[in-house]
Structure 1
């Protein structure tokens, strides 16, 4: 069986979600479908938005992946891959295997993250989603820790999972059911957005940087600037942009937020880094000013920065499409 034989609606929905920056950014997010003893899942570092143009899914032995979810193996599911694909399965394969639904879609939904980075926002989300088969899972490092946290929280009936400081999971028996459920969650959680575009700064950007005026408001308002610079709010932020955003150019940082001027991005930044910068602005644009915000913290940032699985994903994203 090849990826070309996957159900066309599964592939087309995956591509649609991957092409929507309010649901998935760069190589983030993942979808899976279980067909008999095989589970197809997006490969690490690949982009769902390209699902109609290239093979972005990798087949894994469903039983072997489930065994890794329960502690057999290292949790990467590399040993569960069927055949020689040259790709690694997503770092989140174990929770896809553990969830007993045929189709699982995990997005980095901006509408969801805007609620999930705040205790106040999470309470609002509980009220808005209360009549759905929903569970709320506290933040945990992606991979086995997140799988364990999900296992402790969900029931067999759960189809919607809000991940603290992370995103959204929707599950169902077929792709259309998942699409409808995801659309309903998005509809309920979508909030009005501030305009983040600012005028191009008069001053020249720092050497080797360019201005990104579409997120310029982050540099002009103290509240937004402090939120952007005070720590990472979700995993892909720290993986691709580093912990928080610096307030001045730094040699090891792709972005600088210059007070009263604008947001500068390195000329050699990857498309994934640019996408994550836009995502941060999209999230903060939808955050209620009255809500408290809880970054993931320095310890969680360090775990992600030192993680081989994320270094691999960064390397693939930097390489770009083949």
Structure 2
């Protein structure tokens, strides 16, 4: 019954690898398959060789429900579960170590609302969660709290966590966060990035939530 969801995660992981948003075994993905059940990529498995039977199904307390290959869930499972518990609207989570977003995380710099596409989806600044050791409950709690109602958060000295109401939206968020981080860094080389106003941010995000999200499907086209 979980085969389709597991295969979706495999294809999404391979897409992240192809786009340079993850490397090796780092980064992880998950998909809510029921109100209280989550499919999550395994620990220590490279995306290029990942198979659907490697994906693990757990409940929101981390108890294993389905484990076809015997592999263990990602060590960042607490991070994913904390967000799902706090945000019933979130259906998918993509955690990347993409270069430009990670540069901002290492510099302890949130990504300000400087470009329209990420503002529409994420709802403004991409905030920065304080540093905590990976895989810990402390990291999970801080990430979920800092994320708040946004669709993405940076983890200090770590990477980015991007969320969506669908797996496609979470994947798009991961791409847009990396793009926004790159633009932000380049703009600062040219004299400084200029943020959009709070009013414009709110207008664009409300339009996305009320209209664009409903009609865009999974295409992402304007």
Query: TM-score, with normalisation over the residues of structure 1?
Result: 0.48
User: 1:46 corresponds to which residue?
Assistant: 45
Structure whose CA Rg is larger: 1
Q: What's the CA shift string for 1:264-321, capped at 9, x where partnerless?
A: xxxxxxxxxxxxxxxxxxxxxxxx7xxxxxxxxxxxxxxxxxxxxxxxxxxxxxxxxx
Q: Name the SS for the 1:190 alignment partner.
A: helix
Q: Name the SS for the 1:6 alignment partner.
A: helix
Q: Name the SS for the 1:165 alignment partner.
A: coil
Note the aligned Cα RMSD (angstroms). Answer: 2.7
Within the candidate set 91, 97, 110, 2:75 is matched to: 91
Q: How does 1:288-307 map to 2 (within 5 A)?
A: none
User: 1:294 corresponds to which residue?
Assistant: none
Residues 99 and 178 in structure 2, CA contact (< 8 A), matched pair in contact too? no
Q: Name the SS for the 1:90 alignment partner.
A: coil
User: 1:170 corresponds to which residue?
Assistant: 162
Structure 1 residues 128 and 50, CA, compared in 2 at 3 Å: closer, same or farther? farther
Structure 1 residues 106 and 84, CA, compared in 2 at 3 Å: closer, same or farther? closer
User: 2:93 corresponds to which residue?
Assistant: 104
Within the candidate set 64, 84, 103, 1:81 is matched to: 64
1:117 and 2:109 correspond: no
Shift of 1:55: 3.1
User: 1:200 corresponds to which residue?
Assistant: none
> For the residues of structure 2 that align with 1:82 and 1:8, how far apart are their CA atoms?
17
Q: What's the CA shift string for 1:89-117, capped at 9, x where partnerless?
A: 11111121121311000001111112221
Q: How does 1:185-224 map to 2 (within 5 A)?
A: 185-190=177-182
Shift of 1:128: 3.5
Q: How does 1:229-244 map to 2 (within 5 A)?
A: none
User: 1:150 corresponds to which residue?
Assistant: 143
Residues 92 and 142 in structure 1, CA contact (< 8 A), matched pair in contact too? yes
Q: What's the CA shift string for 1:4-63, capped at 9, x where partnerless?
A: 33265443222110344x311111000000111321101111123334x5533111123x
User: 1:140 corresponds to which residue?
Assistant: 132
Q: Name the SS for the 1:152 alignment partner.
A: helix
> For the residues of structure 1 that align with 2:157 and 2:147, how far apart are their CA atoms?
17
> For the residues of structure 2 that align with 1:128 and 1:102, how far apart are their CA atoms?
26
Gaps of 5+ in 1: 66-79, 194-287, 289-322
Gaps of 5+ in 2: 190-222
Q: What's the CA shift string for 1:163-208, capped at 9, x where partnerless?
A: 1110011101112211222222222222699xxxxxxxxxxxxxxx
> For the residues of structure 1 that align with 2:114 and 2:174, how far apart are their CA atoms?
14
Number of residue-to-residue matches in the alignment: 173
Within the candidate set 106, 112, 126, 1:126 is matched to: 112
Structure 1 residues 46 and 8, CA, compared in 2 at 3 Å: closer, same or farther? closer
> For the residues of structure 1 that align with 2:41 and 2:6, how far apart are their CA atoms?
14
Q: Name the SS for the 2:175 alignment partner.
A: helix
Structure 1 residues 49 and 84, CA, compared in 2 at 3 Å: closer, same or farther? closer
Residues 57 and 67 in structure 2, CA contact (< 8 A), matched pair in contact too? no
Structure 1 residues 188 and 170, CA, compared in 2 at 3 Å: closer, same or farther? same
